[in-house]
Amino acid sequence: MSASKKVHVTTTINKEEIDFLCEPRHSLLEVLRDNLGLTGSKEGCNNGNCGACTVILNGRPVDSCLVLGVEVEGAEIETVEGIACSSKLHPVQECFLEGAALQCGICTPGFLVAAKALLDKDPNASEETIRFDLSGNLCRCAGYDKIVRAVQAAGQQMNAEA
Amino acid sequence: MAPNSVSEVVSLLSEHGDRAKMLAGGTDIIVQLREGLREADVVIDIKKIEDITSFHYCEENGLSLGAAVACYHLYEHPQLSQLYGALADSTHIIGGWQIQSRASVGGNLCNASPAADSIPSLIALNAEAVIAGPEGQRTVAVQDFCTGPGRNVLENNELLVAIQIPAQGGECGSAYERFIPRNEMDIAVVGVGSWIRLSDDGTIAESRISLGAVAATPLFAEEASASLVGKEPTEENFAAAGELAKKIATPISDMRGTDEYRTHLVGVLVKRTLTTAALRAQN
Amino acid sequence: MATVFIPAQLRELSGGLQSVELEARNVRDAVEQLDVMFPGLKERICTDGNISPSLQVSIDSVITSRGMIAKIQPHSEVHFIPAIGGG
Amino acid sequence: MTTTQYRVIGSRPVRHDGADKVTGKAIYTADTKLPGMLAGFVLRSPHAHARVVSIDTSQAEAMPGVHAVITGADFPNVEDKVADLGEGSVNLSYLSSNCMAQQKVLYRGHAVAAVAATDVHIAEEAAKKIQVEYEVLESVTWVLDAMKEDAPLLHDDLVTDSMGAKAEQPSNVPVHLHFEKGDAAAAFEEADLIVEREFRTATVHQGYIEPHAVVADYNEDGRLRIWTATQGSFTCRQQTAEVLQIPLGNVLVTPCEIGGGFGGKITVYLEPTAALLSKKSGRPVRIAMTRADVFEASGPTPGSFMRVKLGAKSDGTITAGEAWLAYDAGAYPGGMIGPGCMCVFSCYDIEHAVVDGYDVCLNKPKTSAYRAPGATQVAFATEQLVDELAQKLGMCELEIREKNAVKEGSRRVDGPVYPPIGLLECLDALKQSDHWNTPLSGPNRGRGIAAGFWFGCGLKSSAACTVNSDGTINLLEGSTDIGGSRTSIAMQLAEVLGLEAEDINPQVGDTDTAGYTDVTGGSRVTFATGMAAYEAGRDLQQQMRTLAADLWDCSADDISVGEDGSFSAGGKTVGFKELAVELFAAGEHLVGRATVSPECPTNGFGAQIADVEVDPETGKVTVLRYTTIQDAGKAIHPSYVEGQLQGGTVQGIGWALNEEYFYQDDDTMANASFLDYRMPTMLDVPMIDTIIVETGNPDHPYGVRGVGETPIVPPPAALANAIYNATDTRMTELPMSPPKLWKAMQANQTSE
């Protein structure tokens, strides 16, 4: 895509109203990382095959590399930076730490966001559902075992807290 | 650009011609533009247009599916996912969950990949594409929509507005299955959509079989489909239909599989999807 | 006496001999003695007076990083083997 | 067996960098932003083999927003010198040409020019305006083709080196290795049973999720600062300084958090380029590879051709072995053939063996290390032949392995004998496991086992610990942390000092602040840097004894240090913290330090069990159940040891079933994306059960052996054996992807 005039966009990120200028060719991932300094969302492939850039857009998990910045006018976005409540970690974050479900940590933000979206929908998700719904997130270090278990544990914790 | 009506889009298209590209879910077009596979001066976001982003079902006319409706609406919808089993199967495996939140069936159709997961389902379900242009609307059967890899019947000043899929009675069932080496996040090596309507006596009244990734465009397997009429829904008959379907497959050999393997898979998947479709029709 | 194994690819120089017993303080001493016994051997395993970068010396199953100055004990077993890296 | 009871070692504390990594705060290289920073883009060759006739950069330079353009001409001439990089060595002219092509491009993706601009999109547009004229040459990507006499030559001056003896004619084979033990020919004569097969494996990639990235800031005073994703900041510093021909001390490398490496982030690719762009533009420059660049232009692991033969007596004793191995080196010499040769028979005590190995240059990216580099390929061959022997002799596949397994004193084919090792213990754990003792039933199902080995190295590590006024500790070490090593190192310091893991604040230093430390690789960090931390703790205790002697008015010799880290003298006992606080108040401040360079391989052995089901109609393999067993010596943080076992196993499963560089007719890679390269997703693997065996390594204070690499070695072999048991079809080619397995099953049925 070629360069063209920047567009003014107003949106809500992690419950805060934010506005930015971006070129129509800039992806939401570029906007988050380069314009807004929200570098928690990672670029692993830039074409929707690894899930490291997952954010929640209007309640649904999406690959932010496959969303244009100009598309999020008026949208509600949640990124990994917004998962924890002030200083308290979200259960899925806690369970990733306690279950050693991360090694290098580069895929972790995408997994956490996708897992939160899944658990918000169904905290009792089965192993099969977890594996199906999170198959758009690649991890190369951990072999997935501890990630699946951490997501299951987080669901249980969310149920207990509810 | 994000116009609010179909007519606005048509006039934008008339102005920019093939330098304008439509953006629905963006999961194909953004990658293609980024990688220089397609070029555009103007990208038109059609998700502000209600006709294109909504869907409704009635027993008379069936499902009218706006071109930009995201995949998840179909497989998460209790009634539609039951009525249109093949489409639910397809939309649930297009990319991962993140992709399904954005990608649309209309986009999958317009992208016209020979391996697109939803097109064999649409063909099996006998769907029609509703197209808007300067002269008004026209409809084209989905089986005639694709003209080559990445190419379709749309003129430069036309857009796909909706997909119309016939109503489904209780005696109908459909299924889509693809073969991929992994279990998710793959392009179909072969994909097959099958649809069956059973008679009161349990025999097959009507059937439609469609094949993906075995030719330049998804195919309607006419002879194989017709062969089942009046027959019992048995594995032998389904396997025989699979053999007939193999005759129209002209696949290429590439990194996803050899032509020999792909042709073999047509037989396997026709049999498997017909079995599922029949089961769904019986229930 | 230490046992120094002649790498298979150098046995053309040692007349097929697989190992020799010798008394040596360190690797340099051993290499010099071997070169006297089997002329040309030093040139095959050394570059600029040091063990070639593509080789490493194993003394009693320990891969020494000290090259020519690595100590050899009276009953040591010495091997010259390819260098390896890990992932 | 280690029986000591530890307080911290063996527990599972939350890692020190954990909160940063689950909140998105951890800073990886691509997250780094400097004032005035430019974005770099590298223009790469579309051809597999071509002569660069000319490069015209004028149009790119004229574009608004472009600040610098460089080509190979901007790189200094480096002599044909071989630099020792600690773990392995490298020829500098090859290293430099691999960063930026000079006269020839040797693989698709080979860098030919680079641009720095205010925005990465502008840099990319500018790069596309660079006019490169290529004279396309004949190319070769299959190892046996590249060895042919009439093969297109990649390097005109390259001749085969057979341990110092140089061939006369140039070829694509830089190295021929040859090993002999006993008299293999005679042993085969006397063998009751001989099995022999040819095997082929495809090139595969480490597949780390973070693409290579670097930020370079070349200061006006000649100081070069680099932030980068590297497995070893010190080797990165050395390679960069050597390629740029600048003093080592002028370069500062700060290792950022790193998103996976597995051996692939040791060689420099982008650092010299970013440095030169920064020098030319006077601005800091960041370059990140695209995912396609990572596949096409970083270092995958060798594809291979192998012919392996085993001879056995009728009682199952394996008496003879022969291997002929040819491995891809990629575009430049220096592949993984050495360890391949040394690992082909590393699990079995075979009295007579002969091994030949060839390192082969061809038009693929220069290979680099990938988790036990070179070992997985040969295990795929040998472990299948061992099964075949067992089957033909009517023996159990476990029994034949137990009978022939190497143990302390077994002599390797390359000469050295093993110190105490744990293969038999791993096989015993396999025999006792729930998995092995649970029968597998059902059609098209099979179970397979395989053993695996990787050396594990020591190399150099440093650690320094500063005692805070409250008795907690800041630990500075130099090992980039890819999988939780900060914590496993800190735990060893906590153990020796009698502290909790949380009392230690571990930091990975840069090349200016940390003591020299070799790469995070070779399964060495928890072993060697952990040992450095332990020794730094010991150093601290010595200093504290001396200082406490004044405080307590006694001699340092009167003060003893207990197992729990407490200091005792004259009936008085105080803990580390208490004494540290007391000393600080008395005006003493403490820094403990240590450097270590352990030299004995840690010899990691493992064994695995795989259950599969094969779809007879499609050839698709489903992994039903998997158990990974490994001797960890002593597991410091069991959760992260399990994580290494599980992660390595799943990489091995990917290698076995689907991953490959798929080459098109023009010798370019067809599938340079995560979509088509097909690494396992979560849905493709089951839970990976782990069994940690602890035999204790006598060369480490806590008995640690490296665990990172061995788990990737057995999976292709274990799965091939399982597939055989499910289908009666022996797969001798990787990957065992559905089209290949289906075809092999068809052929097998026809021949029956």
So where are chain A's domains?
7-82, 91-161
B99 touches chain A (CB under 8 A): yes
Query: Closest partner residue to D82 among C11, C44, C53, by Cβ?
Result: C53
Q: pLDDT averaged over chain C?
A: 92
Structure confidence by residue, pLDDT tens digits, D60-109? 999 999 999 999 999 999 876 777 665 567 788 999 999 999 999 999 99
Looking only at the bridges linking them, the beta strands covering C55-59 and B128-133 are unpaired
Chains A+B touching (3+ CB pairs under 8 Å): yes
The identity of residue D34, as a single letter, is L
**How far away is chain D from the Cα of C87, in angstroms, using its nearest Cα?**
3
Question: What is the C-alpha separation between D41 and D73, in angstroms, rounded?
Answer: 17
CATH class of D18-25+458-596: alpha beta
Whether residue C86 and residue D524 make contact (CB cut-off 8 A), yes or no, is: yes
Chain B residue with the nearest C-alpha to that of A73: B2
| Burial of residue D501 (number of CB atoms within 10 Å: 0-12, 13-18, 19+) | buried
Domains of chain D, residue spans = 18-25+458-596, 29-138+212-289, 419-454+601-752
What does R_g of chain A's alpha carbons equal in angstroms? 16
- Tally of CA atoms within 13 A in the half-sphere of C41 that contains its CB: 25
Give the H or E element holding residue D300. Answer: none
State the nearest Cα–Cα gap between C36 and chain D, in angstroms.
17
Cα of first residue to Cα of last residue in chain A, in angstroms, is 47
Reported as a single tens digit per residue, the pLDDT across D451-489 is: 999 999 899 999 999 999 999 999 999 999 999 999 999
- How many A/D residue pairs have CB atoms within 8 Å? 177
Average pLDDT for D162-167: 94
Task: Select the residue of A52, A93, A96 nearest D209 (Cβ to Cβ).
Answer: A52
- Judge: B264–D742 Cβ closer than 8 Å, yes or no: yes
Architecture of domain D29-138+212-289: Alpha-Beta Complex (3.90)
CA dihedral D547→D548→D553→D555, nearest 10 degrees, is -80
> Does B216 contact chain A (CB < 8 Å)?
no
Is A25–D679 a contact, with Cβ atoms under 8 angstroms apart? Answer: no
Least Cα distance to D486 among D19, D18, D25, D10 occurs for D18
CA dist., res. A140 & res. A98, Å (int):
20
Nearest CA in chain D to B272: D617
Partner chains of C (3+ C-beta pairs under 8 Å): D
| C-alpha distance from residue D722 to each of D313, D622, D656, D678 (Å) | 25, 11, 12, 21
User: pLDDT at position D370, please?
Assistant: 96
What residues in chain A have per-residue pLDDT under 50?
none
Residue pLDDT, tens place only, B222-272: 999 999 999 999 999 999 999 999 999 999 999 999 999 999 999 999 999
Please indicate whether, in this complex, the C-beta atoms of A46 and B95 are within 8 angstroms of each other: no
pLDDT, residue A32, reads 98
Task: Assign domain D419-454+601-752 to a CATH class.
Answer: alpha beta
Tell me the chain D residues in contact with residue C87 when contact means C-beta distances shorter than 8 Å: 206, 261-264, 369-373, 521-522, 708-709
Contacts of D482 in chain A (CB under 8 A): 103-104, 141
Tell me phi and psi for residue D479, to 5 degrees.
-90, 115
The number of beta carbons lying within 10 Å of the beta carbon of residue D389 is 21
Query: Contact A146/D28, CB-based, under 8 Å?
Result: no
Helix-helix angle B235-246:B259-282, to 10 degrees: 140
Chain C environment of D333 (Cβ under 8 Å): none
- pLDDT, residue D1, reads 44
What domains, with CATH codes, occur in chain C?
2-82 (3.10.20.30)
D239-277 pLDDT per residue, tens:
999 999 999 999 999 999 999 999 999 999 999 999 999
**Other chains touching D, judged by 3 or more CB pairs under 8 Å:** A, B, C
Chain C nearest C-alpha distance from D108 (Å): 24
Architecture per CATH, domain B6-35+54-165, reads as 2-Layer Sandwich (3.30)
Measure the CA–CA gap between B44 and C57, rounded to whole angstroms: 67
For the stretch D612-641, pLDDT in tens is 999 999 999 999 999 999 999 999 999 999
Contact D738 B184 (CB under 8 A): no
Q: Is the pTM of this model over 0.80?
A: yes
pLDDT tens for chain B, 283 residues long, are 888 899 999 989 888 888 888 889 899 888 998 888 888 888 899 999 998 999 999 999 999 999 999 999 999 999 999 999 999 999 999 999 999 999 999 999 999 999 999 999 999 999 999 999 999 999 999 999 999 999 999 999 999 999 999 999 889 999 999 999 999 999 999 999 999 999 999 999 999 999 999 999 999 999 999 999 999 999 999 999 999 999 999 999 999 999 999 999 999 999 999 999 999 999 8
What fold, for B172-282?
A: Enolase-like; domain 1 (3.30.390)
D168 pLDDT exceeds 80?
yes
Contacts of D675 in chain B (CB under 8 A): 185-187
Measured CA to CA, the distance from residue D379 to residue D290 in angstroms comes to 33
Q: Which CATH architecture has domain A7-82?
A: Roll (3.10)
CA A123 to chain centre: 17
Residue of A63, A118, A129, A134 for testing the chain B interface, max B β-carbons within 10 Å? A63
| Candidates D17, D23, D66, D129, partner chain A, best to mutate (most A CBs within 10 A) | D23
CA–CA separation, D619 vs D616, rounded Å? 6
Which of D617, D662, D678 is closest, CB to CB, to B182? D678
State yes or no: pLDDT of D2 exceeds 50. no
C and A adjacent (3 or more CB pairs under 8 angstroms): no
Strand order, beta sheet including D111-117: D66-71, D111-117, D38-44, D285-288, D213-218, D224-228, D251-255
Closest-CA distance of chain C to residue D514, Å:
21
| Contact call for A136 and B184, based on CB within 8 A | yes
CB of B141 within 8 Å of a chain A CB? The answer is no
Q: Which residues in chain A have their CB less than 8 angstroms from residue D639's CB?
A: 99-100, 146
- The answer, yes or no, to whether C and B have at least 3 beta-carbon pairs within 8 Å is no
Task: Please judge whether A25 and D28 are an interchain contact, meaning their C-beta atoms are less than 8 angstroms apart.
Answer: no
Assign domain A91-161 one CATH number from 3.40.50.920, 3.40.50.261, 1.10.150.120, 3.40.1160.10: 1.10.150.120
**Which of B41, B72, B95 faces A136 most closely, judged by CB atoms?**
B95
Same fold yes or no, D18-25+458-596 and D29-138+212-289: no
C-alpha distances (whole Å) from D325 to each of C6, D55, D334 are 22, 40, 15
Separation between Cα atoms, residue D340 and residue C82, nearest integer Å: 11
* Subunit contact D681:B185, Cβ cutoff 8 A: yes
Q: How high is the mean pLDDT of chain D?
A: 96
Evaluate if residue D4 carries a pLDDT over 90: no
Chain D residue with the nearest C-alpha to that of C77: D416
pLDDT of D20 over the 90 cut: yes
Among the partner-chain residues C8, C58, C77, the one whose CB lies closest to the CB of D180 is C8
